[in-house]
Amino acid sequence: MTDIHTHILSNIDDGPKTEEESLKLLKELEATGVTRVVSTSHFYSASKQIEDFTQKRDERLAAARQLVKDNNLNLTIFSGAEVNIHKIILNYESLKPICFEGTNNILLEIPYELGDFEDNSDLIYKIMSYYNVTPVIAHIDRYDFLFKSEKNVRYLKEMGCVIQVDADCFDSLFMRARIMKMIKNELIDVVASDCHNLEKRRPNLHAAYKLIEKKTNADVVARLRQNASSLV
């Protein structure tokens, strides 16, 4: 499996604080069947320069890759970022350093203090067109204006965005019904764990796929898995 949204690097965001905790998370990912993982540490474009973020990220990424090597884990880690969008991002010359490694795909997080959906979708369109990137919209299950509006989700998809949900959204029966309907209507492109730790936010992609297959069929899971794989 490919997990395209994770927080596995130590001492950089609200993921693992130590390399020991990072290693436990990496081992859990491998144990659940993940072989390719994108490290998407939080990047807040309004408060940090890309160069400062990527310098620290790449240091922590090198450490995580060394952990994988030293412990003979069957994992390939790709660099990336979870980019909290803000109009200031349009001032950057390039967004390539915070895209998924080797691609033009970028994981965008809509601010929780949304303001206006139209304004934010317009900003996403500008990011897409100015930088020739494909936005992957993170965990749409967390926003009422998307979770409760297939119209808005469809609007983003028709714009050219990739739509992602977190695996733990299926823990809620109410949320599960809505998201499952969106999956059946092919409005959801990819499921990811968004894992941070081994307590409340652990790697759980395998469990989500198992449930989706039970509620739909193996072809739907195959589509979701292929979509994730194609992003890196």
Closest by CA position to 73, among listed 32, 20, 30, 33:
30
Which three-class secondary structure state does DSSP give residue 107? Answer: strand
- Residue-level pLDDT at 46: 87
Query: What pLDDT digit, counting tens, does each position of 149-162 carry?
Result: 999 999 999 999 99
Closest by CA position to 166, among listed 186, 147, 191:
191
**pTM of this prediction?**
0.97
Closest by CA position to 169, among listed 181, 157, 152, 160:
181
- Residue-level pLDDT at 88: 94
Instruction: Give the pLDDT band of residue 112 (cuts 50, 70, 90).
Output: confident
- Residue-level pLDDT at 162: 98
Alpha carbons 168 and 65: distance in angstroms, whole number: 26
- Residue-level pLDDT at 130: 97
Query: Which residue has better confidence, 32 or 119?
Result: 32
Specify the DSSP element, H or E, that contains 6. strand 2-6
Domains of the chain: 2-230 (3.20.20.140)
Instruction: Give the pLDDT band of residue 114 (cuts 50, 70, 90).
Output: low
Instruction: Give the pLDDT band of residue 113 (cuts 50, 70, 90).
Output: confident
Going 36 to 182 to 83 to 96, the CA torsion angle's sign is positive
> pLDDT at residue 115 above 70?
no
- Residue-level pLDDT at 119: 87
- Residue-level pLDDT at 58: 98
Say if CB 191 and CB 209 are below 8 A apart: yes
> Bridge-partner residues for 82, per DSSP?
42, 107
Instruction: Give the pLDDT band of residue 172 (cuts 50, 70, 90).
Output: confident
Query: What pLDDT digit, counting tens, does each position of 208-224 carry?
Result: 999 999 999 999 999 99
Closest by CA position to 180, among listed 153, 206, 213, 204:
213
Query: Which residue has better confidence, 113 or 142?
Result: 142
Q: How far is CA 182 from CA 20, 130, 176, 229, in A?
A: 38, 29, 10, 20
Instruction: Write phi, then psi, for 182 (nearest 5 degrees).
Output: -65, -40
Q: CB under 8 Å to 90, separation ≥6 — which residues? A: 123, 126, 127, 130
Identity at 178, one-letter amino acid code: R
> pLDDT at residue 166 above 90?
yes
